[in-house]
Amino acid sequence: MNYNQILKEGENFLKKNKIKNSYLDTELILSKVTNKKREEILLNTNFKLKDKDIIKFKNYLFRRHHKEPMAYILGYKHFWKHKFLTNKSVLIPRPDTELIVEEAIKYLPIDKSKKILDVGTGSGCIVVSLIKERPKCVATAIDISRKAINVAKTNAKLHQLANKINFINIDIDKYKSYNYDLIISNPPYINSIELNRLDDDIKLHEPKIALSGGFDGFRNIKKVIVVSKKLLKINGKLIIEIGHKQKNQSVKILNENGFYINKISKDLSGKERCITSTKL
């Protein structure tokens, strides 16, 4: 079977099973199996696949057919300016979360060493991207999931930051280290009704602990705000991602805990998704 034939078969199989982007996904899978760039595949569509590669291709295709996200099948996802290892222990980095990086660097002068905490680091995509931009800063990244911390550590190593970020497997409720200049967090904020309505790609495959914000979606947002109040220096900044219907309640919780709202940033679809605030 040559590249052309297997691409057609793969695309049809995914299409029949209602997978969006069926052609692109098939091409990416073939590129992974053959270890060739997509352009190389398209220029050599008559190349024959080895039997062992056909088996691998089919296995990956079945995983996609079961709605497993491409980032888990391929094992990586691009975020900000870098590539991050991803597996089912971590939330797949989302473009919306780049808002946190974009906002945070505005408060971190390039020549200063600021102290940063990333709460719920997951793959480590935010903190790694930030320290790449501001190498003089020192960072700690925490997560309740040991498996997520392992992925984040690997990502830091891949980006030559193993000695610059301190990763700790701990619940935010138990973390007690003070005087941070900046706390960043993309906490799990999906409420229990919306959790059930998520696409199968997310619902069936991404870690629930990275998604669920409890009954009303605010359990972790509240926790991060209350704890940040204690851990930040006066005038320290908290930059937090929220769901698109959570602005008013989040601002209320921030104000009740003594934070001044600096800015509310919108994502690419114009929804308010990221709050920058200052501990007064």
Ligand X SMILES: C[S@@+](CC[C@H](N)C(=O)[O-])C[C@H]1O[C@@H](n2cnc3c(N)ncnc32)[C@H](O)[C@@H]1O
Binding site for ligand X (CB under 6 A): 91, 93, 97, 120-123, 125-126, 142-145, 148, 171-172, 186-188, 209-210, 220
Nearer to ligand X, 70 or 144 (CB): 144
CB of 3 vs ligand X, minimal distance in Å = 34
> Measured at the alpha carbon of residue 130, what is the angle toward residues 128 and 132, in degrees to the nearest 5?
70
| CB count in 10 Å sphere of residue 256 | 12
**95 vs 109, beta carbon nearer ligand X:** 95
**Residue number, 4 or 214, with CB nearest to ligand X:** 214
Nearer to ligand X, 25 or 206 (CB): 206
Q: Closer CB to ligand X, residue 10 or residue 122?
A: 122
Q: How far is the CB of 123 from ligand X (least distance, A)?
A: 6
CB of 8 to ligand X, least distance (A): 35
Closest contact distance (angstroms) between CB of 168 and ligand X is 9
- Minimum gap (Å) between residue 157 Cβ and ligand X: 17
Instruction: Give the burial class of 117: count Cβ atoms within 10 A of its Cβ; 0-12 exposed, 13-18 middle, 19 or more buried.
Output: buried
Q: Which amino acid is at 181?
A: D
Are residues 108 and 114 in contact, defined by beta-carbon separation less than 8 angstroms? yes
- Least CB distance to ligand X at residue 143 (A): 5
Residue 116 or 142: which CB sits closer to ligand X?
Answer: 142
